[in-house]
């Protein structure tokens, strides 16, 4: 990356005896859309609030556009923020809400009015400027909150779970709208969410957080297909995690419940005989060797759930088992419980997770 | 079910009678100044009395200043406690309740000892100093009502998020309180203000012991020396209090509505 626009350097945050963010580092390029993804309590909102200036880091630095803003107050940072609870001012109309930041910045009235009209058009609510927030739906309110945040032309836009209070349909359309507006304006954006689908669909890069640390930073493709830790693998998407024994680290040969398979992602430093966790996406596994893939494992059908268009099947080997989904075929009934089957998958789909396998 | 409703009405009727019968009797008595017919003579006498006008005017001005002092102290304090010091809330609530427990006479004797003409802060040495002290005394008496009204208003809005939303848009504390917090709790503040007004108009102990020409001592003086006029004054005082309560009810309809979720 060229010079980062937003740089979070060795940031740590402690409250009383608890450290909620530990040595967090991240560089965000100008115009980039980065999502913080993680479960509740992982520290993602705390990092966002430190960037906003609502929390002061215990140690570390935050730079925006090359300037150290770590000790600046929120109203001195020129940052826009959208909150989960909308946070529109109930006493002001939509237009007055959008104009709030402009009025505070003492922008001349004519310019402010022009900017408000521009923002209302941008969020596709050009005729609702005179309405009060309580007269709008949740989705409309959040669009107004977005317009209010970007009206003063902030350097960075922060989105703190802005879609979680909305229903599923609005969520999908609004996230696409947010992404489009962000691309059009080219504004550097940090988005906090616990919804992996949201993060995967709109981000340039995702920071998966756990226990106050960044577990993995990467593009949605990398995060989904090449998770580096057990947590990322289990948190993003559905994964089968299996315990394996390294037979030959150099060739990537491992054994799962005594059956030999190859993992092309195996690093050379893996010691022969070591226990490792490996992961398989359900969509990468086929039943009875369909597709001519090289890795094959023999097992027994343990569970069959008929879900209509999809049949979810669990195959047990010995200690390990995998779940896989197959499309329903009216001409071929699903396998029966206890039936002997072979599952197959490509060596590159077998993800080798970092660290020793837990006992 | 029907029997329960019957007894509920009986209790309500007894309660209403307990409240209204003396009031109606007072009203009826106040209109009997002219022999043989009902008239508003007592009201004319009272309203035409220069002492009534002066004492009522004094109390109205004292009430306005009390409201200003109360708002300036209570709104920022209640806001800050909700925003940054929520752990202090039970303590502050206890302190604001003290004026209901400690009699006004105790407070006023404390003032006389602390601020007498020989003290380092001789507020009582001059009439204007005593008026200032009276206003602060009234603000103390009205504290439980003002604090509760404002705190209830603050409870209806998301103080923290609104504050942060305003901060991130560049606003400082004065702008946040004046343009975001106060407009959203204005109706609650007005409720507190009207309650304060009603308390100040009828207050006797402090004004009397500090020897100020307020409406409370005037009421007492009239009651001791006249027959029909005190009854008329009692009805007027009731009307003022009820007028304040009605205004609170009317204004509450204009409160900014919280956003739909």
DSSP letters spanning B227-238: SHHHHHHHHHHH
**Closest-CA residue of chain A to B167:** A75
Tell me the residue length of chain A.
Answer: 359
B39-62 residue pLDDT tens: 999 999 888 989 989 999 999 999
Mean pLDDT of A86-93: 91
Instruction: List the one residue out of B108, B71, B10, B97 whose CA is nearest residue B197.
Output: B71
A126-131 long-range contacts, CB within 8 A, separation 24+: A128/A94, A129/A93, A129/A94, A129/A95, A129/A98, A130/A93, A130/A94, A130/A95, A131/A93, A131/A94
> Residue A229's pLDDT is what?
82
| Residues of chain A found within 8 Å of residue B166, distances taken between Cβ atoms | 89, 100
Least confident of A220-229, A243-252, A282-291, B95-104: A282-291
State whether A87 and B164 contact (CB < 8 Å).
yes
Answer whether B131's CB lies under 8 Å from B206's CB: no
Distant-in-sequence, close-in-space partners of B133: CB < 8 Å, separation ≥ 6: B111, B115, B123, B124, B210
pLDDT band for position A97 (cuts 50, 70, 90): very high
Residue A317 DSSP symbol: -
Burial of A246 (0-12, 13-18, 19+ CB in 10 A): buried
State whether A74 and B168 contact (CB < 8 Å).
yes
A209-226 residue pLDDT tens: 998 899 999 999 989 888
Positions of E strands within chain A: 6-15, 18-28, 33-37, 59-64, 67-68, 79-82, 156-160, 188-193, 205-210, 213-218, 240-248, 253-256, 259-262, 275-280, 286-287, 295-306, 310-316, 321-327, 340-345, 351-356
| Whole-number Å distance between alpha carbons of A253 and A245 | 9
Distance of residue A33 Cα from the nearest chain B Cα, in angstroms: 20
Of A79, A87, A132, nearest to B158 by CB-CB distance is A87
Q: Is A56 on the interface with B (CB under 8 A)?
A: no
Torsion angle (degrees, nearest 10) of CA A33, A39, A42, A44 = 20
| Whole-number Å distance between alpha carbons of A72 and A87 | 22
Distant-in-sequence, close-in-space partners of A330: CB < 8 Å, separation ≥ 6: none
Burial of B154 (0-12, 13-18, 19+ CB in 10 A): buried
> Residue A115's pLDDT is what?
93
User: Residue A73 has which token pair?
Assistant: 């107050």
Distance of residue A70 Cα from the nearest chain B Cα, in angstroms: 15
- Is residue A144 classed as helix, strand or coil in its secondary structure? helix
**Closest-CA residue of chain A to B165:** A87
- Is residue A324 classed as helix, strand or coil in its secondary structure? strand
State whether A75 and B162 contact (CB < 8 Å).
no
pLDDT band for position A359 (cuts 50, 70, 90): very low
The complex's ipTM works out to 0.79
Distance of residue B157 Cα from the nearest chain A Cα, in angstroms: 9
Instruction: List the one residue out of A96, A149, A150, A144 whose CA is nearest residue A124.
Output: A144
> Residue B198's pLDDT is what?
87
Task: Assess whether pLDDT exceeds 60 at residue A350.
Answer: yes
Token look-up 């009206």 returns: A151
B20-26 long-range contacts, CB within 8 A, separation 24+: B23/B235, B23/B238, B26/B231, B26/B234, B26/B235
Distance of residue B253 Cα from the nearest chain A Cα, in angstroms: 14
Quickly count: other Cβ atoms within 10 Å of residue B218's Cβ: 22
Question: In whole numbers, what is the pLDDT of chain A averaged over residues?
Answer: 88
Residue B81 C-alpha from the chain's centroid = 23
| Whole-number Å distance between alpha carbons of B195 and B192 | 5
Q: Is A90 on the interface with B (CB under 8 A)?
A: yes
A129-181 residue pLDDT tens: 999 999 998 889 999 999 999 999 999 999 999 888 788 888 888 888 889 88
| Whole-number Å distance between alpha carbons of A148 and A248 | 58
Task: Assess whether pLDDT exceeds 80 at residue A1.
Answer: no
Question: In whole numbers, what is the pLDDT of chain B averaged over residues?
Answer: 88
State whether A81 and B257 contact (CB < 8 Å).
no
State whether B164 and A74 contact (CB < 8 Å).
yes
Residues in B whose CB is inside 8 Å of some CB of A read 157-158, 161-162, 164-172, 175, 179-180, 183-184, 256-261
> Residue A52's pLDDT is what?
93
> Residue B259's pLDDT is what?
45
State whether B161 and A75 contact (CB < 8 Å).
no
Q: Is A74 on the interface with B (CB under 8 A)?
A: yes
Residue A264 C-alpha from the chain's centroid = 26
Task: Assess whether pLDDT exceeds 50 at residue B24.
Answer: yes
Please give the backbone phi and psi of residue A342, each rounded to the nearest 5 degrees, phi first. -125, 130
Query: Would you give the end-to-end CA distance of chain A in angstroms?
Result: 39
> Residue A157's pLDDT is what?
93
- C-alpha Rg value of chain A to the nearest Å: 25
B158-197 residue pLDDT tens: 899 999 999 999 999 999 998 999 888 888 888 899 889 9
| Residues of chain A found within 8 Å of residue B183, distances taken between Cβ atoms | 91
Mean pLDDT of B104-114: 89
Least confident of A72-81, A229-238, B69-78, B141-150: A229-238
| Strands lying side by side in the sheet with A259-262 | A259-262, A253-256, A240-248, A275-280, A351-356
Q: Mutating which of B168, B186, B256 best tests the A interface, going by the most A Cβ atoms within 10 A?
A: B168
> Residue A355's pLDDT is what?
59
A307-336 residue pLDDT tens: 888 888 999 999 899 999 888 888 888 888
A36-82 residue pLDDT tens: 999 888 899 999 999 999 999 999 999 998 899 999 999 999 999 99
Task: Assess whether pLDDT exceeds 50 at residue B261.
Answer: no
The alpha-helical segments, DSSP class H, found in chain B are 2-30, 41-48, 50-83, 89-101, 104-115, 127-155, 159-168, 173-175, 182-202, 205-209, 215-225, 228-252
- Is residue A2 classed as helix, strand or coil in its secondary structure? coil
State whether A104 and B164 contact (CB < 8 Å).
no
Cβ pairs A/B, distance under 8 A: 85
B70-108 residue pLDDT tens: 999 999 999 999 998 989 999 999 999 999 888 889 988
């Amino acid at each position: 990356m060229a010079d980062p626009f937003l740089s979070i350097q060795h940031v740590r945050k402690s409250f009383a005896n608890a450290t909620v963010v530990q040595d967090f580092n991240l560089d965000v390029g100008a115009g980039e859309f980065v999502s913080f993804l993680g479960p509740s309590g992982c520290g993602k909102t705390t990092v966002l609030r430190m960037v906003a200036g609502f929390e002061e880091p215990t140690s570390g630095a935050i730079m925006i556009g090359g300037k150290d803003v770590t000790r600046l107050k929120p109203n001195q940072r020129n940052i826009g923020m959208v909150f989960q609870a909308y946070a529109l001012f109930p006493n002001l109309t939509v237009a007055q809400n959008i104009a709030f930041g402009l009025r505070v910045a003492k922008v001349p009235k004519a310019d402010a009015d022009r900017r408000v009209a521009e923002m209302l058009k941008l969020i596709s609510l050009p005729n609702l400027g005179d309405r009060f927030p309580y007269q709008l739906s949740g989705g409309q309110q959040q669009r107004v909150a977005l317009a209010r945040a970007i009206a003063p032309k902030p350097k960075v836009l922060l989105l703190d779970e802005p879609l979680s209070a909305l229903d599923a349909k609005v969520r999908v359309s609004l996230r696409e709208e947010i992404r489009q507006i962000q691309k059009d304006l080219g504004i550097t954006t940090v988005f906090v969410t616990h919804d992996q689908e949201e993060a995967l669909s709109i981000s340039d890069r995702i920071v998966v957080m756990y226990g106050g640390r960044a577990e993995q930073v990467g593009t949605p493709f990398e995060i989904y297909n090449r998770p580096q830790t057990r947590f990322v693998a289990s948190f993003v998407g559905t994964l089968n995690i299996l315990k394996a024994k390294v037979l030959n680290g150099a060739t990537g040969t491992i054994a799962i419940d005594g059956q030999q398979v190859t993992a092309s992602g195996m690093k050379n430093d893996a010691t022969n005989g070591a226990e490792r966790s490996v992961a398989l996406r359900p969509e990468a596994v086929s039943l009875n060797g369909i597709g001519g893939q090289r890795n094959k494992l023999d097992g027994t059908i343990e569970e069959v759930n008929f879900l209509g268009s999809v049949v979810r099947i669990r195959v047990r080997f010995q200690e390990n088992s995998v779940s896989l989904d197959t499309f329903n075929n009216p001409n071929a009934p699903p396998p029966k419980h206890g039936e002997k089957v072979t599952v197959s998958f490509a060596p590159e789909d077998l993800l080798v997770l970092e660290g020793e396998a837990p006992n | 079910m029907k029997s329960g409703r019957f007894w509920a009405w009986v209790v309500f009727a007894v309660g209403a009678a307990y409240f209204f019968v003396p009031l109606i009797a007072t009203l009826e008595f106040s209109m009997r100044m002219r022999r043989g017919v009902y008239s508003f003579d007592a009201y004319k006498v009272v309203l035409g009395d220069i002492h009534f006008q002066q004492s009522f005017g004094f109390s109205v001005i004292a009430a306005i200043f009390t409201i200003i002092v109360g708002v300036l102290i209570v709104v920022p304090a209640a806001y800050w406690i909700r925003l940054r010091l929520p752990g202090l809330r039970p303590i502050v609530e206890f302190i604001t309740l003290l004026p209901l427990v400690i009699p006004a006479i105790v407070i006023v004797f404390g003032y006389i000892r602390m601020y007498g003409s020989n003290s380092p802060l001789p507020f009582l040495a001059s009439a204007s100093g005593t008026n200032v002290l009276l206003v602060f005394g009234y603000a103390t008496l009205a504290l439980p009502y003002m604090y509760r009204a404002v705190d209830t208003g603050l409870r209806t809005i998301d103080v923290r998020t609104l504050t942060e939303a305003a901060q991130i848009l560049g606003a400082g504390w004065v702008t946040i309180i004046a343009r975001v917090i106060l407009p959203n709790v204005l109706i609650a503040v007005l409720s507190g203000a009207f309650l304060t007004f009603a308390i100040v108009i009828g207050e006797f102990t402090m004004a009397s012991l500090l020897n100020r020409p307020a409406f409370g001592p005037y009421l007492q003086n009239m009651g001791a020396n006249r027959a029909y006029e005190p009854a008329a004054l009692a009805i007027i005082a009731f009307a003022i209090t009820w007028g304040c309560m009605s205004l609170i009810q009317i204004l509450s309809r204009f409160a900014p509505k919280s956003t739909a979720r």
